[in-house]
Amino acid sequence: MDDLLRISDILKKYKEEKYKSNHNDEKKPAPEEANLRQKPHISIYSAVAKDLGENQETNINAQALYDEALSRIKEIYTRGETKKTNGDFYSLVLPTIEKLADALIAGNRELLRYSLSDYSQMSEYLFAHPVNVCIISLYLAIGLDYPRSRLIELGISALIHDVGMPFYAQIVNQGRILNNAEFARVKEHPQQGYDVLQEIGKGLSPIIYETVRQEHERWNGSGYPLGLKAEQINPYAQVVGLVDVYEAMTHTRPYRRRHNAMEVIREILHHKDAFNSSYIKVLIERIGIFPVGWIVQLNTKEIAVVVKANPRMPLRPVVDIVMDSSGKELQTPKKINLAEDAAIYIEQCLECLMVKNK
């Protein structure tokens, strides 16, 4: 553990360049919104940050876009709880989803890294969770070759998939595992969300309503509320349902620590009959066993940061080496595609160990 802290302390000295010159005039996010998303606890210097998705060519401010999505889900939840129908619901969510989809299509990985980072305020996870599920779902769907029109529908579905959950916030925010009666109540939220959308979501495509109701259905028929199975579950609900589980397990909850990505993939594979196998494959290929931004130790004893997944070889991502085998910091990171160098491989995931010891 002391070695992990030493590595963390060394890397923390470097500051990521979050605001590029072309973003200087943009409005900064409200403090309460910015705090909902916690940056990875290990900072990486600017050259690595660029590899992780600071894509100047696409002129995308990922932080501002993430915070915009947080604002949207707050407003949606408020409308849902109060049953307010003021304004056009579709027009409220469409611009944000279009920007998220276009940013991910353009190759921005910073949004993905935000969605894989843990929450900083547990009391606010109900807002950050659907934003993360939306981003990850869009990222997976791009790997499924969804056209832009379907990405937009999926993105809206994913962002509002838990619109019924605020009605059960007092139950799920307890700092303990729910008892059977409480869990039975919470399992009502997909139908509650479907009912709420009938009032506040006029004009949405029928498949969006159904995705909200079906995202807890499972391929083997073990889900709820309708006990649907296999192709009875619409494709959007299949994607969102898988991502919902992945996001929830890789993030902290009031009653437990977060799990690392390897633990979560292992658990999903253990229950693989609950999900569409082709979507599990895409999840592993797109996110990888070692997610973007995670810290790993190579067999050469060098310390590296994962900067890109290799879809065909998820155990061999592209990494930037930031410390040599003696623990000396590199002023300029050394990029290695592990898929192209069989002699070098990841020996252990330091980020996983840090998660376990948090």
CB of 304 within 8 A of CB of 322?
yes
Q: pTM for the full model?
A: 0.81
Closest by CA to 149, choosing from 138, 160, 159, 140, is 138
Q: What is the pLDDT of residue 125?
A: 86
Query: Is pLDDT of 28 > 60?
Result: no
Q: Given pLDDT bands bounded at 50, 70 and 90, which one contains residue 186? A: very high
CATH number of the domain encompassing residue 89: 1.10.3210.10
The dihedral sign for the CA sequence 286, 318, 53, 348: positive
Residue 325 lies inside a defined structural domain of this protein: no
- The string of pLDDT tens digits covering residues 49-101 is 556 554 444 577 899 999 999 999 999 988 887 766 666 888 889 999 999 99
Domain-embedded: residue 341: no
**pLDDT greater than 90 at residue 247:** yes
Is 328 among the domain residues?
no
Tell me, what's the pLDDT at 48?
Answer: 59
Task: Answer yes or no: is 261 within a domain.
Answer: yes
The answer on pLDDT for 35 being more than 50 is no
**What whole-number distance in Å separates Cα of residue 61 and Cα of residue 284?**
27
User: Residue 24 burial by CB count (10 A; 0-12/13-18/19+): exposed, middle or buried?
Assistant: exposed
Where is pLDDT greater, at 57 or 306?
306
Query: If you average pLDDT over residues 148-162, what whole number do you get?
Result: 97
Which distant-in-sequence residues (6+ apart) come within 8 Å of 184 by Cβ? none
Q: What DSSP designation does 252 have?
A: -
Percent of the chain at pLDDT > 70 equals 79
Domain-embedded: residue 62: yes
What integer is the mean pLDDT of 29-38?
Answer: 44
More confident residue, 47 or 341: 341
- Looking at residue 161, its pLDDT comes to 97
pLDDT given at position 117: 83
Mean pLDDT of 32-57: 47
Residue 201 has pLDDT above 50, yes or no: yes
Strand partners, 298: 346
Total of domains in the chain? 1
Residue 226 has pLDDT above 50, yes or no: yes
**pLDDT value for 336:** 95
pLDDT, residue 281, reads 93
- Domain assignment present for residue 329? The answer is no
Q: What is the pLDDT of residue 22?
A: 37
**Are the CB atoms for 130 and 160 separated by under 8 Å?**
yes
Q: Does residue 343 belong to any structural domain of this protein?
A: no
User: In angstroms, rounded to a whole number, what is the distance separating the alpha carbons of residues 207 and 269?
Assistant: 28
Domain that holds residue 107: 11-291
By mean pLDDT, which of 53-57, 161-165, 215-219, 232-236 is the weakest?
A: 53-57
